[in-house]
């Protein structure tokens, strides 16, 4: 995956599973929106202040040390205290006062009883002794479920499998030249659509991305589909989405979630490229799986591709609270991942309980997906990546995470989709690219009535998958996400 390298990106090498590689980050100053902090790299299980706070404490189990498959980035001295579901708004506000009284700085208070995550994000006092004392006080507070580091996430490149690179080069050369023909084919398919979906199976000959060819159940140089995701809103939590022509009139006004939650700036333009590529795979007229779905950009990353746990949670909360008569069926695409965060997992779980389905990337560390978030959350559909079949089944991409937390696999290597510049394409690799294939399938299933809730659509994606085709599933469920052409 060829992503631009910037000083901030080099600094914050940690999240977005389009390419997530959390290993080689440098420490230093960083900025998110109007907030600044020092990002530091820590090893999983790093004791630091949490261990000092836990010494002799009866509630040490509430203090969660950094967790992940490798070194993770955190905001130095920052924590998130998550409260129990039964805690009152007054109890949350009391925690904020406790933090302020200990000379900590409260960055965000989420106390609403109907929120997707409830708690306080804060910067602890500078001295180690004061931090330890405050963390122990929070752990002893009955309303607190756990306290964890505030994770920092950022884009990092993922090279495609070598054979796929050559195949992509051969395929992408004519891809832009063929895009007019592909657009014409897509237009003809759209013309056959009726209210509520496609009236009869439409066939897109020689789809520009091999992923489209594969997800209809077989590789035959056609993408065949009898539904298009009409009636479903897909929320793309990413770097933003550029309004390219192939999104037609289906790009809905979204939100720019500037940490710590200011939605006044509705600027959702993509200045990085990742979000537009992801949205293209979901619903572009030419490169998309669900060519009738509405696309709602929720920008949770800055121009360099960096974000935070709190910013992602704020994005999820915005989706749950978004009111639009067209958006009664909501699917979130999160091509992101990082250290295992109980707070982020809680937000995804709460969103599911409120009827919002989340489809998330398994991650690109070639490690157990259960060690990262939101991949570890059971209510999310967690997606691993495969390479283009070469006659022997669907090969798991060398970088794709695996394990029992993976629900399905999908095409993720050398995927051609939309670029920031209208009329151009880019070819990217990663579980970030696999995830939108499954998100598009979820939109098609829900739009067609093959499922009718977040829970039933989660189950349908697994039950309708092809089984036994994944080479080297590495302990993952051996399921390839598909939707037969007559569905």
- Catalytic site residues? 238, 274, 432
Distance between CA 347 and CA 415 in Å, rounded? 30
Sign, CA dihedral 341-79-332-317, equals: positive
Distance between CA 173 and CA 416 in Å, rounded? 11
Distance (Å) of CA 177 to CA 219, 280, 287, 379: 22, 17, 14, 41
Letter string b/e over residues 469-480, b meaning 16 or more CB atoms within 10 A of that residue's CB = bbeebbebbbbb
Q: Which helix (H) or strand (E) holds 310?
A: helix 309-321
What DSSP state is assigned to residue 360?
A: E
* Conformational region of residue 479, where left means phi above 0, alpha means psi within -120 to 50, and beta covers everything else: beta
Distance between CA 149 and CA 342 in Å, rounded? 10
**Paired strand residues for 100:** none
Distance between CA 296 and CA 82 in Å, rounded? 28
Q: Are 93 and 110 in contact (CB under 8 A)?
A: no
Distance between CA 198 and CA 213 in Å, rounded? 18
């Amino acid at each position: 995956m060829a992503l631009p390298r910037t000083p901030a990106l080099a600094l914050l090498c940690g999240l977005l599973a389009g390419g997530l590689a959390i290993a080689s980050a440098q420490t230093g100053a960083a900025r998110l929106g109007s907030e600044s902090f020092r990002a530091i790299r820590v090893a999983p299980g790093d004791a630091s202040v949490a261990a000092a706070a836990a010494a002799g404490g009866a509630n040490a189990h509430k203090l969660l040390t950094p967790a992940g498959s490798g070194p993770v980035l955190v905001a130095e001295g920052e924590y998130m205290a998550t409260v129990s579901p039964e805690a009152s708004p007054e109890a949350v506000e009391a925690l904020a006062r406790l933090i302020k009284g200990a000379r900590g700085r409260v960055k965000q208070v989420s106390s609403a009883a109907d929120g997707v995550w409830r708690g306080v994000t804060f910067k602890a006092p500078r001295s180690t002794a004061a931090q330890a004392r405050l963390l122990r006080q929070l752990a002893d507070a009955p309303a607190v479920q756990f306290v964890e580091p505030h994770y920092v996430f950022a884009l990092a490149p993922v090279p495609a499998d070598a054979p796929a690179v050559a195949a992509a080069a051969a395929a992408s050369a004519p891809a832009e030249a063929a895009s007019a023909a592909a657009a014409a084919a897509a237009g003809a398919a759209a013309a056959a659509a009726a209210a509520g979906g496609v009236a009869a199976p439409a066939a897109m000959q020689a789809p520009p991305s091999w992923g489209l060819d594969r997800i209809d159940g077989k590789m035959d140089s056609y993408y065949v589909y009898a539904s298009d995701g009409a009636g479903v809103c897909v929320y793309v939590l990413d770097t933003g989405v550029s309004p390219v022509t192939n999104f037609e009139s289906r790009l809905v006004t979204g939100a720019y979630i500037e940490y710590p939650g200011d939605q006044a700036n509705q600027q959702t333009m993509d200045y990085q490229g990742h979000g537009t590529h992801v949205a293209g795979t979901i619903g572009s007229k030419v490169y998309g799986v669900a060519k009738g779905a509405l696309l709602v950009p929720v920008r949770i990353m800055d121009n360099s591709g960096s974000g935070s746990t709190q910013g992602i949670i704020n994005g999820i909360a915005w989706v749950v609270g978004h009111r639009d008569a067209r958006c009664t069926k909501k699917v979130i695409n999160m091509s992101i991942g990082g250290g295992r965060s109980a707070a982020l997992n809680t937000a995804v779980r709460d969103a599911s309980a409120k009827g919002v389905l989340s489809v998330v990337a398994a991650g690109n560390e070639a490690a157990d997906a259960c060690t990262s978030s939101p991949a570890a959350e059971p209510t999310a559909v967690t997606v691993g990546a495969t390479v283009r079949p070469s006659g022997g089944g669907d090969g798991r991409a060398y970088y794709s995470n695996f394990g029992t937390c993976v629900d399905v696999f999908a095409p993720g290597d050398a995927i051609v989709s939309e670029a920031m510049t209208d009329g151009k394409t880019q070819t990217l690799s990663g579980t970030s690219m696999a995830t939108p294939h499954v998100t598009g399938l979820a939109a098609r299933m829900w739009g067609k009535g093959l499922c009718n809730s977040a829970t039933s659509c989660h189950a349908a994606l697994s039950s309708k998958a092809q089984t036994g085709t994944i080479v080297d599933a590495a302990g993952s469920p051996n399921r390839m996400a598909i939707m037969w052409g007559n569905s």
